[in-house]
Amino acid sequence: MTTNAIEFTNGRLKITGDILTYEVFAKPFRIGQRQPREKKTSRFKSDKPITRTRNLYAAKRNLTDWINTNVKTDIGKDGKPIPPIFITLTFADDVTELNEAHLEFKKFVGRVNYQIFHSKTSALKYAATFEIQNKRLTKYGVAVWHYHCIFFNWEMIDDHTGVTEKRRFWDNKDKKILHNLWDNGFVDIRDISQVSDAGWYMTKYMVKDGNDPRLNGRISYLISKKLIKPGTIYSVDFANMLINDLPKDCLQYVKTGIKVNYLESKDKIIFNLSKHPELRARNEQLIKQYFGKNF
């Protein structure tokens, strides 16, 4: 979000669902200029593994923001937000080529989309990461891919009627349908409906396991279309209005004096509103009121 009234600021509030990240810099910066990076020292500035790691950290931050922004934004048949569903997909065969793995994942998404929405038009919202199965690589020396996926608008599947319905969470019988939809190997489902930071949960191993030479020059994650974009508020006054009256239990992280390149330093504060959904609704209403479509 940018406005004509503000050209320079020394702070930004990133809003990604329940997670609010507020950064205040030592020096003002022009809105729209390249975001500053934290200072990192290296004897080998052109070292490709270092560049790859830096890019992975950036991809991890971006994916975390996408996930947290879209968790619990779709409303189910019961009138309540649809909880996120976390699924791991593995290959029984030695699928070592990433293009082949992506093709099978794309087919799976298409089958799930048709199962839920009874249409070939893409409506399923998801994010996914992919990595090599380390245990399999260590034991057999074969680098086979697998996927970690989070689905935002997938309600429960009834294996008798073939349509969606709301249940407390996935029963074992759901796995039969999932195995038919995947038809490539093992499927693992985890209940993360109570996880307060779904983005962190999904991406916590991304840099460790994703720093793989097989991924050089490749994207690090997959996201569907029609996801809500993370938003940023550059008005310090408005940001302070949103966060000043937050309850103490919303405070998740504080670090001051973080060194950054051309803005010298920054203070970083993270708030988590998962325990106070009414505050998330209030913030969304205020943002629409003040910024409308520009956010």
- What is the domain-level CATH number for residue 200? 3.30.70.1910
**Least reliable range by pLDDT among 46-55, 69-78, 253-262:** 46-55
CA–CA distance, 51 with 159 (Å, rounded to integer): 47
In this predicted model, what pLDDT tens digit does every residue of 147-163 receive, in sequence order? 999 999 987 655 555 55
User: Who wins on pLDDT, 54 or 105?
Assistant: 105
- Are 78 and 169 within one domain? yes
Q: Which of 171, 134, 143, 141 is nearest to 156 (CA)?
A: 171
Query: Percent helix, strand and coil across the chain, each rounded to 5?
Result: 35, 25, 40
Would 65 be classed as within a structural domain?
A: no
- Are 86 and 214 within one domain? yes
Question: Residue 267: is its pLDDT beyond 60?
Answer: yes
pTM of the complete model: 0.83
The pLDDT score that the predictor gives to residue 179 is 83
The pLDDT score that the predictor gives to residue 252 is 95
The pLDDT score that the predictor gives to residue 288 is 85
Task: Count each helix (H run) and each strand (E run) in the chain, helices first.
Answer: 8, 12
Would 182 be classed as within a structural domain?
A: yes
pLDDT band at 44 (very low <50, low <70, confident <90, very high): very low
Whether the CB-CB separation of 27 and 263 falls below 8 Å is answered with yes
- Are 114 and 216 within one domain? yes
- Are 112 and 176 within one domain? yes
The residues near 48 (Cβ < 8 Å, ≥ 6 apart) are: 216
The pLDDT score that the predictor gives to residue 42 is 43
Q: Is 84 exposed, middle or buried (0-12, 13-18, 19+ CB in 10 A)?
A: buried
Which of 175, 193, 223 finishes a domain? 223
- Show the domain range for 20: 8-60+232-294
- Are 207 and 104 within one domain? yes
